[in-house]
Amino acid sequence: MTEPLVAPHVLEWGYTRSLGPTLTAFFTGLRDRKIVGAKTKTGRVIVPPTPHDPDTGEDVDSLVDVSDEGVVETWSFVSHPRPKQPLDRPFAWALIKLDGADTAMLHVVDGAIETGSRVKAKWRDETVGYITDIECFVPA
C-alpha cells in the first residue's frame, strides 16, 4: 500500500504589528470593558475601528463608545469545536452589529441564536486588552 502524500501547513503570523492610536484605543477599551468604534466624517461608526474611512480613505473623525449589546446579522454554527477554538462546546461564529455601530463585528456566540437575535457581551473576569476579553456573546 502506498503511503498518502502529506503536506503539513502551519498558519501563523510571524511578525508583530504596532497598533497605532485607533487600535490602541479599541484594545484599551476592551481592557476597561467597553467597546470603541471609529466615527467617520459622514457619521458612520465602524467597529472594530479603523484609522481610515474604508469608503473614502480619509482619517476617521473621532472615536466613540458603542454598546456591548447588539443584533446578530448572520452566523455559522460549529457543532464540533476543534481544540484551539474559543469554546469547548458547540457555538456560533456571528457577525454582530452592536448598538451604536454601523458595521458588524465578528465574534463567538454561546447559546441558541438566529439572524436578528439580540446578544450581549460576556466579559472575562480578568481583562487585559485582547479581543478575547469578551469571552463570547450570549443571548440578551
pTM: 0.86
6 or 110, greater pLDDT: 110
**Is residue 115 within 8 Å of 77, Cβ to Cβ?**
no
> Residue range 45-61: average pLDDT?
95
Give the rounded percent of residues in the chain with a pLDDT score beyond 90: 83
Does 73 have pLDDT greater than 80? yes
Ranges of each domain in the chain: 20-139
Mean pLDDT for the chain overall: 94
Is the N-terminal amide bond of 81 cis, ω within 30° of 0?
no
Does 6 have pLDDT greater than 90? no
